[in-house]
């Protein structure tokens, strides 16, 4: 069990919806963070997610007061490939962990989660869909992975597709 203090999610519907379900009974809001969005080579420019006010119309637990690290218009140009998101994700993690204390929940996609594994762990790692990875801050700015790609909360563990 973890006492989540803040929740950040990629601003796509599927990640905001997942985060909203998680925070529903926790008196928390979801902070939509474009720095956690898909690898940008897979997206339109600018990416096609909604702005926070529009997201809040569909997902009432969106925190429209949150000032994100990136907006859809300030996301950096990225090269081709999933690992091209590493600098963006690194900048996002740095800002979030400098500004927010306590246990943080990040809801994202395959490439950014792989990047987090490289930044806070050792290697870029794809995890199964809807799985949980836990990193613990052991000293300011230094993290240790406790577990990766845990699916124990899922009733159906088939076809999680960690490629």
- Structure confidence by residue, pLDDT tens digits, 94-111: 999 999 998 999 999 999
CA distance 6 to 27: 10
The reported pTM is 0.91
Which of 28, 33, 35, 38 lies closest to 60 in space, CA to CA? 28
Could you tell me if residue 22 is left (phi over 0), alpha (psi between -120 and 50 degrees) or otherwise beta? alpha
CA distance 93 to 99: 10
**Would you say 138 and 144 are in contact if contact means Cβ atoms under 8 Å apart?**
yes
Mean pLDDT of 20-26: 93
pLDDT of residue 163: 58
pLDDT of residue 100: 95
pLDDT band at 141 (very low <50, low <70, confident <90, very high): confident
Mean pLDDT taken over the chain:
90
Per the listing, tokens 């998680």 go with: 22
Domains and CATH numbers, the chain: 4-150 (3.40.50.1240)
């Amino acid at each position: 069990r973890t006492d989540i203090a803040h929740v950040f999610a990629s601003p796509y519907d599927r990640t905001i919806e997942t985060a909203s379900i998680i925070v529903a009974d926790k008196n928390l809001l979801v902070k939509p963070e474009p720095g956690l969005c898909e690898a940008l080579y897979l997206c339109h420019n600018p990416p096609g997610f909604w702005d926070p006010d529009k997201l809040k119309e569909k997902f009432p637990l969106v925190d429209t007061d949150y000032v994100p690290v990136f907006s859809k218009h300030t996301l950096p140009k990225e090269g081709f490939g999933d690992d091209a998101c590493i600098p963006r994700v690194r900048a996002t993690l740095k800002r979030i962990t400098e500004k927010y204390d306590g246990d943080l929940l990040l809801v994202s996609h395959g490439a950014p989660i792989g990047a987090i594994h490289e930044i806070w762990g050792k290697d870029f790692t794809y995890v199964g869909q809807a799985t949980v990875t836990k990193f613990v801050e052991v000293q300011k700015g230094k993290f240790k992975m406790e577990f990766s790609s845990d699916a124990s909360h899922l009733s159906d563990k088939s076809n999680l597709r960690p490629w």
